[in-house]
Structure 1
Amino acid sequence: MSKTEFGIRAGRTAWTRRRRYIAGRPVRRGWTSSVARVSALGIAPLLVVGAAGMAVHLRSAEPEIRESVASDTPFTLSGHGNGHGRGMGQWGAYGYAKDQGWAAERILAHYYGGTTLGTLADAQISVRLQGRDDQTLDVYSAVGAVVAGKPVGPGEAVHLTPTAGGGANVVVTRGCAGEVLWQDVTDHPWVDPVDLGPDRPPNEHLTFCAGDTPYRGALGVALDGAAVRTVNVLGMEDYLLGVVPVEAKAEWTDTGGAEALRAQAVAARSYAAAESREAYARTCDTQSCQVYGGSAVEDPRTTDAVRSTQGMILVKDNKAVAAEFSSSTGGFTAGGEFPAVEDQGDTASPHHDWAVTLTAGDIATAFGVGELHTFEVVTRNNFGVDGGRVTGVKVVGSAGTTEATGAQARAKLKLKSDWFTVGEGVGIPGEPSVPGEPDPSLADDDTVGTNPGSPIAEKYKELGGVNSTLGAPVGPEMMLPSEAGKFRMYQNGTIIWTEKLGAQVIDASVLRDWIPTGGS
């Protein structure tokens, strides 16, 4: 965790501040700067040091009175990465493949320490199709199918409803909504394609009447208590053909990232092989497991990645490893089952750094604490910059106090990851400098606030740099939402750049209109 020594001119008190932040000031009015608030109230800051870092509380000679932060007070949360950060970073894998020429095997060894490559024998997998929960199974095939041991003609639709004891009622119709051709009861609640072999052509795939979505393998129904479930059973390699293109980007192949897709195929195969969710289905088709889209999403580039790694899995102690992965690590993996490692490849990620602005009201509502008093990061995992990912927060409000993990805070605040820092106002939280003096940690070269080639830096230099009315920078250049442009905060204003506007000096209130007040 980085440290910066700084002092307060009044009294020249100096201390070491670490990046642990309590969002909250005892004010009920609208938003004003924290310096103005402390000055107006005549309250001296007291530093209380905890195990995870340093937090700022306010105290006066009078008994403590907790007052709420005005609900419209903005706080900027800046962070790194997108997802839980455990195991492989998908953008990082792409960066290593494209920029450093790493092969899939090296990528996997980097992210999944303590594992080796093994081979999975021919296997089937059963997948709960969660979007089909509590529905009957209504499917057809262009070349026909088999149900209850009987052939079904081309274009004829099969409708299955599960029964107690593991069977199903069968209705076959002409087309999905035509006349009933025959009915039956079966103890085999499955619709099978005309050929159950692997890698069958598209005209043999079973297709749902609702949405015309095709799937390889067989489709069946089961009861989960009284709830109806739809299950797809197929070969592991066929299954991966519908996983890799929705979990990664097939177009990475076109820009030198083919090895990242091969690594993704191995990780996805290993993860699926280690799954064991339900008695009726080993895995599911959503982010709760890993995303699977059926045969409609297949792409020749990801199909090549699957076939070129056929049977390859990650193993530890002779068992398949649940090889977790996420979109972007932000530059350092989260640790856990696999050792935390630096992820230099993640610089390729559009989510490597991010920022979002929330109000005190947003934070209080998310945690259900009434009016916000304080929002405190209490622990971090110490991997990477800014002290690492948040592992614990404490939120105090007029209706009570709650504590949560970093992952829970991420979910409640709808953040990209649990690796974030918090700062008051619309800006980027960071180590503060003495008012009126430049912060040398923000210098990009010999002139504070310059970044050669950056239109924002050029505009800043044109205006006079540190000696301009903008003053010193208070944060790095950051991306606007949806990569619409960039901005940088200074002591007395902000420079924003977009392709249409060019570089312009704006008021912070204008920037708040650009940055969403919800999660990202």
Structure 2
Amino acid sequence: MSRQPNRRRGRIRRSRIIVGRPLRAGWKPAVARAATLGLAPALLIGATVGGIAHVRSGAPGVEQAVAADTPFTFSGHGHGHGRGMGQWGAYGYAQDGWTAERIVGHFYGGTSLGTVDVAPIAVRLMGQDDVPLAVYSDAGLVVAGQQVGPGDAAHLTPTADGGADVVVTAGCSGEVRWQGRADLPWVDPVDLGEDRPGNEHLKLCADGTAYRGAIGVVLDGSAARTVNRLSVEDYLRAAVVPVESLPGWADTGGAEALRAQAIAARSYALAEQRHEKWQTCDTQSCQVYGGSAKEDPRTDDAVRTTRGMVLLKDGKVVRTEFSASTGGYSAGGDFPSVEDLGDKVAPNQQWAKTLTAGEIGNAFGVGELQNFEVLTRNNLGADGGRVTRVRVVGADRTIETTGAEARAKLGLRSDWFTVNEGAESAVPPSTPAPETGPEVAITPFGTDQSPAIQEKYNELGGVTGQLGSPVGPELMLPDERGKFRVFTNGVILWTPEFGAQVFDASILRQWLPGTGSAE
């Protein structure tokens, strides 16, 4: 029997089936298809992560469901959370003749442009967690007050008193030159000044990644953490601006967009205070930072010509979020929502993704899908704007959750979307942005991994510790009050008020109203 696509925006049309027996051909259980994103549904204590769950009874009767292989197309706008500056929008405005100052003024309403003294910044290198520090430099280095020759490596193990045990070797794995103790657990380059030549940069023995400034290893409880301490201007040059934007924009009329990125990235970094021993980190949880290898003269110029420039509110540096593409309208939040006409140049201003009903049901852990409904939007931009709340109805349970959580579970480019039945050809295909482009959406409490939860997990021993292996990904609490992750032997729950805490799985009943009910 042929079926016509439902054209009602944001709602999936349902077909009637009798539980246990399909009434029409082509239906097959959703469990026959794995969710393409690999996001595990919540399996513990009957909870549906990120929302309110209502578990259905097993009584027989007439239910409504959608055939598992039925396609649904999600079409939307933008790439990322859309808060603050859109990086492609900044590029579009720069091509239209806007200055960096005008660009940041447009996206970050309610702030003023100011200048601060150049300050040092400490960056946790997340990939080096729980790894002893081993570094070398082509020009030599300084550790424990001792000069170390070119190519020789310093190995540091942190001690409880704030110092470190030091071993210096010929190369990274050669004979021991000398060993001793350092009162301060830091390795310095031969010159700690700004803008030093590449042969003076410190390099990790593990992979040769080079960093400006000093590198140290500190204890966070009993866990070792590697930290890079350098001038914020060197930090911006060393991969932040060239990674978060495209240096080539300068060659196509977009130099002012790079300057705007430098101002936003500097403000964001200086407003960060993740830990008493470091301000920020080197992953998408903070700002992507990969050392000095990706520096580019064009982004160097953007940093140099905006030296010390930041955005201020009430005399304080503002945490200026940004993402790749707003889709034509920023999302609001800490800064007023604004129309983003510059975003017309974005490769993902419009996108589409087709998923089956089975994949949708599996992604949300609701069983056989019966309905997916957009409940509320922010009323900014086309189609009613970004989705703020959805309801997903399945044979096993019903959940309500945020648009941001729906975006994460379904692997959508943004939470500004509509959904229609069918694999529609009228919507534009998803166009990938350049691989080195601003694909990173700065989402401190969004879909990326929470550093606080990961830190707590590492502190407790990781997979060999008391919590055991993760059961699923990190997920958001209702109303974005915080995040949590379920492990074999418990839960780590993070909120701004209480930080990261470990609980028995039953604590989720208090945070997810209706969990485990038989309604």
TM-score, structure 2 length as denominator?
0.73
Q: What is the letter of the counterpart of residue 190 of structure 1? A: W
**1:110 equivalent in structure 2:** 106
Q: What is the letter of the counterpart of residue 141 of structure 1? A: S
Structure 1 position 179, deviation (Å): 1.0
**1:19 equivalent in structure 2:** 9
Measured against aligned partners, the alpha-carbon deviations of 1:377-416 in whole angstroms (never above 9, x if no partner) come to 1111111001100111111112211221111111111111
Q: What is the letter of the counterpart of residue 325 of structure 2? A: S
Which aligned pairs between 1:40-439 and structure 2 lie closer than 5 A? 65-98=62-95, 100-242=96-238, 243-427=240-424
Q: Is this contact kept in 2: 1:126–1:232, CA < 8 A?
A: yes
Distance 1:186 1:240 in 2: 29
Measured against aligned partners, the alpha-carbon deviations of 1:145-198 in whole angstroms (never above 9, x if no partner) come to 111111111100011122223222211110011111111222201111111111
Q: Is this contact kept in 2: 1:24–1:375, CA < 8 A?
A: no
Distance 1:18 1:73 in 2: 16
Distance 1:115 1:67 in 2: 51
Q: Is this contact kept in 2: 1:25–1:374, CA < 8 A?
A: no
Question: What 5-or-longer segments of structure 1 have no aligned partner?
Answer: 1-16, 33-62, 429-474, 485-520
Distance 1:134 1:330 in 2: 40
Q: Is this contact kept in 2: 1:127–1:231, CA < 8 A?
A: yes
SS at match of 1:161: strand
What is the RMSD of the two structures over their aligned residues, measured on CA atoms? 1.9
Measured against aligned partners, the alpha-carbon deviations of 1:442-484 in whole angstroms (never above 9, x if no partner) come to xxxxxxxxxxxxxxxxxxxxxxxxxxxxxxxxx45x1355499
Measured against aligned partners, the alpha-carbon deviations of 1:298-325 in whole angstroms (never above 9, x if no partner) come to 0000000000000000000000011110
**Greater mean alpha carbon deviation, residues 158-167 or residues 229-238:** 158-167
Q: Is this contact kept in 2: 1:23–1:376, CA < 8 A?
A: no
Q: Is this contact kept in 2: 1:160–1:168, CA < 8 A?
A: yes
Question: What 5-or-longer segments of structure 2 have no aligned partner?
Answer: 1-6, 28-59, 435-519
Cα 1:291–1:204, aligned 2, differ >3 Å: closer, same or farther? same
Distance 2:157 2:421 in 1: 56
Distance 1:395 1:78 in 2: 18
Q: Is this contact kept in 1: 2:9–2:420, CA < 8 A?
A: no
Distance 1:73 1:335 in 2: 35
Q: Give the number of the structure with larger relative contact order, counting CA–CA contacts within 8 Å between residues 6 or more apart.
A: 2
TM-score, structure 1 length as denominator?
0.73
Distance 1:349 1:23 in 2: 32
Q: What is the letter of the counterpart of residue 96 of structure 1? A: Y
Distance 1:483 1:372 in 2: 32
Q: Is this contact kept in 1: 2:164–2:181, CA < 8 A?
A: yes
Distance 1:115 1:79 in 2: 30
Q: What is the letter of the counterpart of residue 26 of structure 1? A: R
Structure 1 position 327, deviation (Å): 0.3
Q: Is this contact kept in 1: 2:157–2:164, CA < 8 A?
A: yes
Higher Cα Rg: structure 1 or 2?
1
**Greater mean alpha carbon deviation, residues 279-288 or residues 218-227:** 218-227
Cα 1:350–1:425, aligned 2, differ >3 Å: closer, same or farther? same
Distance 1:483 1:259 in 2: 20
Q: Is this contact kept in 1: 2:11–2:420, CA < 8 A?
A: yes
Structure 1 position 225, deviation (Å): 2.2
SS at match of 2:173: coil
Distance 1:193 1:377 in 2: 55
Structure 1 position 294, deviation (Å): 1.0
